Structure 1
Amino acid sequence: MSYSDAPSSTSLWTLFSARHLGASLMLSGGIALYAIETYVTATIMPSVVRDIGGLPLFAWVTTLYVTASVMGSVFIAIRPRGLSLNRTYSVGAVLFLLGSAICAVAPTMEIVLAGRAVQGFGAGTLATLGYAFIRYVYPESLWNKATTLYAAIWGISTFIGPTLGGFFADGSAWRHAFTIIVPFALVMGLLAPWLLPAGVDDRTETKAPLKQMILLSASLLLVSFASTAEEIGARTWLVVCALTAIAALLLVERRATLRILPRGGTLLSMPIARVYAAMFMLLAALTCDIYIPYFLQNLHNVPPLISGYIVALVALGWTAAAFICSDFTGKAMRRSILVGAILEAVCIGMLAVTLARLNPSGDVLLVSAAAFLIFGMGFGVGLGWAHLVTHILHLAEPDEKDKASAGITTVQSLGSAFGAALSGVIVNSTGLVSPGGVEGAASAATWLFMLFALPAVLAAFVAFSLPEPRYGAHVGDND
């Protein structure tokens, strides 16, 4: 029986019914490992540097992880014939386990980086499989619910990760933050072949698109260098080189027979390419939040802990919106994407008025207004994200569903990486460093939020052109 014909329930708790419980625990567990580890590592890295040194390599802890995670997502589409999706999940879990173990025993920062690369590859595999399995595990009526569940996990992880990292922030205790993950990854790797379906291998080819993978990696590394470069000239040239690598990637991708994205994924005349473009721009705009704690602390005298929880409102807003719109279908889904993009653009732009100003007395009304807009940023993305994922799953050809799922993680990582790097270029070029101080911070914040509203505006234009999501297509068997 196909899932399109299966009896359906629209309750989120149906994901944890007896029929779906095992698979839901596995898939949500993989997302949880990825999400919690992201925030835990961000919290403990200062302790790692104090313990074993390696401050000049600090930024590469994230850079290598993101780059490797993209490669892990691509691996789903190019895995060897005969390697089923559930066993691929086991491979991802084992690599995540191995990378965590390497980090836990690392005597130097260079070894930590090696562990983070292995860990990132496994994490990218697990996160991508969360999307790839949706069409095999759930009926179409639950596809939005599954992505809502993932959003909820990210929202919860925003609070759990830093809290858990705080327990291991003293001395060499940071090693336990990596060690504690190992048994969870081991259990998940062992249970995956039993709790997850094998999936239908309907791919037409499995060879690796090496040229695109090299260009993709180069663009991520270049943009990461740009975010840490001290000279504005160097930052500019590195961004230009990164954009050139992306342009070359798109050109090669269009002409290649071996591709990273599914057919039509780079042609804006095709709906699937416009969906990916909307995803990229929504995530790129959202990454301006990395400087929100700094502006809250330096412009509004908000304590560090409180500023951390305020920026966590982005994830909370995303989660809340995902729950609210998870039952939308048809035209309501398209309107939700459009309204969400407009809301994100408005909220980011308004932060140039509320957050980007001097407030040495910490006026509660002004901080509360900024917090409301920060929540709205995430809420806007949450209104559309699950529906964009559903679009991708419907628009991809039957033999490219796995590649399309991998593309979601790839585009998500690219959007976040480019957004983070460009935000660094903007603030460092508009006053954060020179003249610096509160005046410089206010100037940098104003420019940052005004400019970063533009990608969300572009996402709204793209969303306006998207087709109405369709249902009822054959998407796989549940046998």
Structure 2
Amino acid sequence: MAEMTPQADTARLSALFRPENLLATMMLGGGIALHAVETYITATLMPSIVRDIGGLALFAWATTIYVIASVVGSIYVAVRPAGVTLNRCYVWGAALFGAGSLICALAPVMEIVLAGRAVQGLGAGLLVTLGYAFIRFVYPEALWSRASTLYAAVWGIATFVGPSIGGIFASGSAWREAFLILVPIALVMAWLAPRRLPSGEDRQAATPAPFVQIALLLASAMLVSFAGSVTAVWLRGTLAAAAVAAVTAMVLAERRASARLLPAGAVNLSSALARIYLIMLLMLVALASDIYIPYFLQELHGVAPLASGYLVALLALGWTAAAFLTAGLTGRRAIASIAAGTLLEAVSTGLLVFLLARHNPQGDIVVLAAATVAIFGMGFGVGMGWAHLVTLVLRLAPDDEKDKASAAIVTMQALGTAFGAALAGVVANSTGLLDPGGIAGNVSAAGWLYGLFALPGLAAFSLAISLLRQRN
């Protein structure tokens, strides 16, 4: 197994765009960009889709089914049959993404949109996982951290680009064109994959599929998604508890199974790899509390909808800025950056208890400026550590399980986002958002939400400190 401390990395980010790396960088980053931009495009378009073809009751499932399908796609990369190369997976991922986009564009009813979103999500899961899996085949090791930094930056850029594109096509039935424009892009990427990407084939035998763990993982994602959408408090709590139970059962099954979903040691906290994955999960759970920031800005601080959307986008800008500023850190300094980032995220989230959870109808600029700094700090904290966490995963995973390790990164992203969003809904809806509602209810819900969601960041900080103390 590789050492935990990242090796010296003196390569510049610009090396990713040298002639020998340029096309691979565009394709791998482009696959992640398709997924990231589409996430924000669809979020912007959903109100228009519902107005045009109905299906309000299925509104939340457009995101839920996409996330669940992306988990399936990410898992396939790790358990694919022997002889199926990574570039062939890329072809399938791009083709499925294009096919799903076409189905959405032609859908006459919401149920068909959901079918298209499932196909899209499957392709997106493949593409994002392959972005990480291909790093070790496309670039020398000195560029692994730089590539991870670039991919993190893609998400920040998508936060601005996605809503802008969605807004252009948000009137009437023009939402269909927003899906259609993705089809030729995906097809070109599918055509280029076997011609411009290495095969990436690194094994001769098929990996047995861990069906029990996959079923439990998908069940947990479904349960937590239902928990975030139901109105009865007792039912929300029951579903959330069932989701936690499913994850616990998955971990127990993973420990005993011969066919594993995750790389060796990933479910044992004595392993550095397990703690790295858990830090990823906890950071994204805490970050998911951002889904309510625009709402509270509008309802409690009198901020206009468009302005609130761009204020929360500062979170992604913070992630991107931190990723670039800390990209050159190596060794213990890189791990210290992870620890500092988790603490910054926790503190910034906690500060919103005082800055966001208050009635400020006149939009006092001092309060809003401070809240803006805290929102930026949440993303900056994640950006300080994410690329280094990805690099550590790729280095720590056994050589014959690096595909599993890459897939698990995407799985942690999906689960962290899904669990965090659903739990945020449970907390907000149970602490005043619905009852009593109004200003008092919103203040109460915001206070509980950001107070509780600072805790995952603190837990991640504790785990990061244990990594910093670990001897190589």
Same fold (TM over 0.5): yes
Q: How does 1:26-37 map to 2 (within 5 A)?
A: 26-37=27-38
Contact 1:431–1:444 (8 Å) recurs in 2? yes
Q: Distance in 2 between matches of 1:13 and 1:469?
A: 32
Residue 144 of structure 1, CA deviation: 1.3
Is 2:92 the counterpart of 1:104?
A: no
The aligned amino acid for 2:247 is I
**Alpha-carbon distance in structure 2 between the residues aligned to 1:117 and 1:442:** 37
For residues 205 and 340 of structure 1, the distance between their equivalents in structure 2, rounded to whole angstroms, comes to 39
Per-residue deviation, residues 133-157 of structure 1 (Å, max 9, x unmatched): 1111112221111111112211111
CA contact (8 A) 2:315 2:379 kept: yes
Q: Tell me, yes or no, if the aligned pair for 2:82 and 2:205 is still in contact at 8 Å.
A: no
Displacement, 1:205?
4.0
Name the stretch that deviates more: 135-144 or 317-326.
Answer: 135-144
Matched residue type, 1:16: F
Q: How much has 1:216 moved relative to structure 2?
A: 0.8
How far apart, in 2, do the equivalents of 1:175 and 1:360 lie? 38
Does structure 1 conserve the Cα–Cα contact (< 8 Å) formed by 2:342 and 2:461? yes
Task: Determine if the alignment matches structure 1 residue 311 to structure 2 residue 309.
Answer: no
Which residue identity does 1:95 align to in structure 2? L
**1:161-195, CA deviations, whole angstroms, 9 ceiling, x for partnerless residues?**
00100111111111111100000000000001111
State the number of aligned residues. 466
DSSP-derived class of the 1:70 partner: helix
Counterparts in 2 of 1:213-232, with a 5 A limit? 213-232=214-233
Q: What SS is found at the alignment partner of 2:324?
A: helix
**8 Å contact 2:10–2:328 — kept in the other structure?**
no
Contact persistence 2:297–2:356 (CA under 8 A): yes
| Residues 311-344 of structure 1: per-residue CA shift (max 9 Å, x gap) | 0011000000000110110010110000000000
2:44/2:167 contact within 8 Å kept:
yes
1:278-335, Cα deviation, whole Å (9 max, x unpaired): 0000000000000000000001000000000000011000000000110110010110
Quick one: percent identity of the two aligned structures?
Answer: 60
Cα distance in 2, alignment partners of residues 295 and 363 from structure 1: 14
Which consecutive residues of structure 1, in runs of 5 or more, have no partner in the other structure? 1-6, 472-479
Per the alignment, in what secondary structure is the counterpart of residue 119 of structure 1? helix
Matched residue, 1:259: 260
Instruction: After TM superposition, give the deviation of residue 9 of structure 1 in Å.
Output: 5.3
Q: Does 1:419 align with 2:420?
A: yes
Shift of 1:393: 0.5
Within 5 A, what are the aligned runs for 1:427-446? 427-446=428-447
After TM superposition, where is structure 1 displaced by more than 4 Å over at least 4 residues in a row?
Answer: 467-471
Write the distance in 1 (CA, Å) between the matches of 2:316 and 2:204.
35
Q: Distance in 2 between matches of 1:241 and 1:398?
A: 35
Provide the rounded CA distance (Å) in 2 between the counterparts of 1:303 and 1:76: 43
Question: Match of 2:405?
Answer: 404
Question: Aligned letter for 2:156?
Answer: G
- Matched position secondary structure for 1:432: coil
Q: Distance in 2 between matches of 1:470 and 1:123?
A: 38
Alignment-derived partner of residue 140 in structure 2: 139
Contact kept, 8 Å, 1:288 with 1:452, in 2: the verdict is yes
Structure-1 residue corresponding to 2:25: 24
* Alignment partners' CA distance in 1, 2:361 and 2:287: 26
Tell me which residue corresponds to 2:371.
370
**Deviation at residue 81 of structure 1 after TM alignment:** 1.5
| Distance 1:8-1:351 versus aligned 2 partners, 3 A rule | closer
Distance 2:392 2:258 in 1: 24
Query: Could you tell me which residue of structure 1 aligns to residue 4 of structure 2?
Result: none
Please say which of residues 300-309 and 201-210 is displaced more in the overlay: 201-210
Q: Which residue of 1 aligns with 2:3?
A: none
Give the aligned residue type for 1:368.
Answer: A
Cα pair distance change 1:128/1:413, threshold 3 Å: same
Matches within 5 A, 1:76-95: 76-95=77-96
The aligned residue for residue 361 of structure 2 is 360
Q: Which moved more, 1:193-202 or 1:430-439?
A: 193-202
Alpha-carbon deviation of 1:203? 6.8
Q: Is the 8 A contact 1:334 1:468 kept in 2?
A: no
1:38 aligns with 2:35: no
Whether the 8 Å CA contact 1:339–1:380 is kept in 2: the answer is: yes
Q: Which residue is equivalent to 1:477?
A: none
TM-score by structure 1 length? 0.95
Q: Secondary structure at the match of 2:208?
A: coil
Q: Which amino acid is the alignment partner of residue 208 of structure 1? A: A
Cα distance between partner residues in 1 of 2:138 and 2:421: 34
Is 1:117 paired with 2:145? Answer: no
Superposition deviation, residue 259 in structure 1: 1.3
- 2:344 aligns with 343
2: distance between equivalents of 1:396 and 1:202?
15
1:65-95 deviations in whole A, cap 9, x for unaligned? 0000000000001112211111110110000
Letter paired with 1:379 = F
- Considering only aligned residues, what root-mean-square deviation do their CA atoms show, in Å? 1.6
* 2: CA distance, partners of 1:11 / 1:339: 23
The more displaced of 198-207 and 376-385 is: 198-207
Q: Could you give the per-residue CA deviations for residues 227-279 of structure 1, whole angstroms, max 9, x where no partner exists?
A: 01100000000001111110111111111111111011111111110100000
CA distance in 2, matches of 1:469, 1:32: 35
Question: Displacement, 1:468?
Answer: 8.2
Separation (CA, whole Å) in 1 of partners of 2:464 and 2:139: 26
CA positional deviation for 1:201: 1.8
Q: Structure 2 CA distance, aligned partners of 1:109 and 1:203?
A: 43
TM-score by structure 2 length?
0.97
- The DSSP-based 3-state class of the residue aligned with 1:20 is helix
Shift of 1:96: 0.4
Q: Shift of the alpha carbon at 1:202?
A: 2.9
- Deviations for 1:116-149, whole angstroms, at most 9, x for unmatched residues? 0010000010001010011111122211111111
- Matched with 1:386 is 387
**1:454 maps to what in 2?**
455
Write the distance in 2 (CA, Å) between the matches of 1:230 and 1:22: 48
Measure the CA separation in 2 of the matches of 1:28 and 1:52. 33
**Deviation readout 1:424-467 (Å, 9 max, x if unpaired):** 00000100011100111011000000000000000000011116
Q: Distance in 1 between matches of 2:273 and 2:420?
A: 22
Three-state SS of the structure 2 residue aligned to 1:312 is helix
Aligned mates of 1:191, 1:465 — CA distance in 2: 43
Shift of the 27–469 alpha-carbon distance from structure 1 to 2, 3 Å rule, reads farther
Q: Distance in 2 between matches of 1:467 and 1:352?
A: 30
Task: Report the Cα distance in structure 2 between the residues aligned to 1:141 and 1:367, rounded to whole angstroms.
Answer: 41
